Amino acid sequence: MHRYDSLHLAMFSGKGGVGKTTLACGFARYWAQRFPQDQVLLLSTDPAHSLGDVLQVPVSDTAQPLPDAPNLQVRSLDAEKLLHVFKDRYGTVLELLVERGSFVAGEDLTPVWDLDWPGLDELMGILEIQQLLNQQQADRIVVDMAPSGHTLNLFELMDFLDGLLQALELFQQKHRNIEQTFTGRYTPDDADAFLQTMKTDLAAGRSLLQNQAHTACLVVAIAEPMSWLETQRFLAALQTLEIPCGGLWINRLLQLNPVTPASASDLDRNGEQQHLIQKFQTLSGTSHLPLWGVPLQASEPVGGAALDALMAQGFDLAAQTVDLSQPITVSWPQSLPPGFHDFVAAQQQLLLIGGKGGVGKTTVAAAIAWGFADRYPDRLIRVISIDPAHSLGDAFGQALGHQPTQLTANLSAQEVDADVVIEQFRDDYLWELAEMMSGESRDSESSLRLAYGPEAWRQIVSQSLPGIDEMLSLITVMDLLDRGEQDLIILDTAPTGHLLRFLAMPTALGDWLAWIFKLWIKYQDVLGRTDFMGRLRGLRQQVMQAQKKLKNPHHTEFIGVVQAQSAILAEAQRLTSTLAQMQVSQRYMVHNRYQPDQPDLRDYFPEQTIVRLPVLPRSVTPLERIQGAAQLLL
């Protein structure tokens, strides 16, 4: 642990459900105790915040010290509140710059601030982290990041912001040249100062985030195949983004008692664990990364004392001897009623499988798809992953991509590739929208178009836009539903916070389109583009139809997945309440990894039917595990 003493920023991420929040909280407490003279800040950028659930204290957007660690302050970012602060600070000058680079007047832009911004959590998160680093508001910062896919989205926003500033610089250059032409001189204004300040701050923030002497992303994993596979992909992506990795933390390691005979289930799990530890050790050696082990606890590590005890038990996993000699007996559990009703017979068309990261959403989604495809060989079933950190292929034990893969004659699977969908969306709408926003037609004088016209707007829309995953996932699902080619679609969704963004996307996209329509109506004599507006109206109608289908219980069903841990159950209760407010039907909650000594979840979810999925054997192939889970669930 002393190897991290020189760092000033430690970011915890990894596959959902591996214990990122727990270890981030424990590490922040460790730093606060080791450096009592330093101010330590523990920050969450995950839209589904869990710091309070783990620390057992109230946590808000205002940093507050822990009662037993006064030099450790805790804060969960509120993206909406940060947007309002950003608007108050920079709104006027941003509206001025956009006005200079488009046909719109300043008053036309004011409503934009009140719209639902896709990607707001990541955008405000990266801006706030960079501001905290630049202003040195704390001596040491620990960040509890979102799961790996959305963590990568946040880091990639550095490139988006650089590109956005380049486009705004083109808008401002147009203004400079016009003023120079008409007055013979140019006097810098607030927009110039804003652009210079933002460029300097973003460059400084990027430098600190990529400085391995200052910053490290600590990658948390567990010794299970899907976590191992996602960890490899995550490490490769961090290397591409030049984000320093400070090591691998393998959480919840089972420790067999040499005196007490182990159960068949523990022997099964330990056998798989030993093989995966060996793989992590090899990865650690070839990548020259520290490898830290954290034992599985007898009870859930929540609250200060339990977290401190957890951190004290960490050990150097790279030095541990691996035992691959244990004999393993595979034993399948018995099915436990009740199960699901027959979604196909009920003619429901869309199932959303969701919950906190790591609870087993992908396994449940794959099992439901497999089970109904087996029951109805004459019906077409499609299972789709819309999580940017895909694990659906890992669950089935084969590679999947954006194009559907036939797993059986009537079951197909795909992992939505945002890059593929965004290219089509650009061709269909965004390139022409960029040209329209510039206010210049295709036959404008070419040198002016090159410097100041649609090229600046094209530069903006050519990038990976914030929040694009949820919007593109919605468009993919809308297209499938409209074509009516599948009898049942099962969505393996992103973890809770980003699932809610997906469900809110029809309203958000509809509101943005409505704003564009109002602009066009005001300026239609100048803009023309009647055909383009007709296409956008068609898109909005499609979006509104999707929203109706998401709220129609005869069409769509949400199935929650939980495990019997307090932080998971607390988040699931919040999600269930929010879904009720959004009028999304939820009749089932899957209690994954159920064991007889665990609490009755009907007390937590009285309105839902609890479907219990017992602990599955580990020493089987991925497909055998899915097939077994399908039999247990259905």
pLDDT, residue 465, reads 64
Write down the domain spans for the chain. 2-316, 350-416+468-505+543-633
What digits encode the pLDDT tens for the residues 345-363?
A: 999 999 999 998 889 999 9
Helix (H) or strand (E) holding 295: strand 291-295
CATH of domain 2-316: 3.40.50.300
pLDDT, residue 142, reads 96
* Whole-angstrom Cα Rg for the chain: 26
pLDDT, residue 567, reads 87
Strand partners, 315: 293
Model confidence at 446, in pLDDT bands (50, 70, 90)? very low
Instruction: Give CA–CA dist 510/520, Å, rounded.
Output: 15
Cα-based angle 573, 579, 581 (whole degrees, multiple of 5): 110
- Amino acid present at 309: A
Model confidence at 468, in pLDDT bands (50, 70, 90)? low
Residue 447 backbone dihedrals phi, psi, to 5 degrees: -70, -35
Mean pLDDT across the chain: 89
pLDDT, residue 528, reads 85
Instruction: Give CA–CA dist 433/516, Å, rounded.
Output: 9
pLDDT, residue 441, reads 54
Structure tokens at 225: 């195949």
Dihedral of CA atoms 92, 93, 99, 101 in degrees, nearest 10, equals: -160
Residues 499, 505 contacting (CB under 8 angstroms): no
What digits encode the pLDDT tens for the residues 595-613?
A: 999 999 999 999 999 999 9
The SS3 call for residue 375 is: helix
Rounded to whole angstroms, the maximal C-alpha distance in the chain is 90
Specify the length of the chain in residues. 634
Strand arrangement of the beta sheet that strand 411-415 belongs to: 405-406, 411-415, 381-385, 488-492, 350-354, 556-562, 588-594, 609-614
Residues 126, 9 contacting (CB under 8 angstroms): no
pLDDT, residue 443, reads 47
Decide which of 293 and 443 is more confident.
293
Q: What is the mean pLDDT of residues 435-440?
A: 77
Q: Give the other-Cβ count within 10 Å of 187's Cβ.
A: 8
| Residue 450 pLDDT exceeds 60 | no
pTM: 0.85
Residue 301 backbone dihedrals phi, psi, to 5 degrees: -80, 85
pLDDT, residue 542, reads 85
Class of domain 350-416+468-505+543-633: alpha beta
DSSP string computed for 226-293: HHHHHHHHHHHHHHHHTPPEEEEEEEEE----SSSPPPHHHHHHHHHHHHHHHHHHHHHHHHT--EEE
Instruction: Say yes or no: do domains 2-316 and 350-416+468-505+543-633 share a fold.
Output: yes
Q: What is the mean pLDDT of residues 452-468?
A: 70
Closest to 427 (Cα-Cα) out of 455, 453, 458: 458
Decide which of 366 and 494 is more confident.
366
pLDDT, residue 502, reads 81
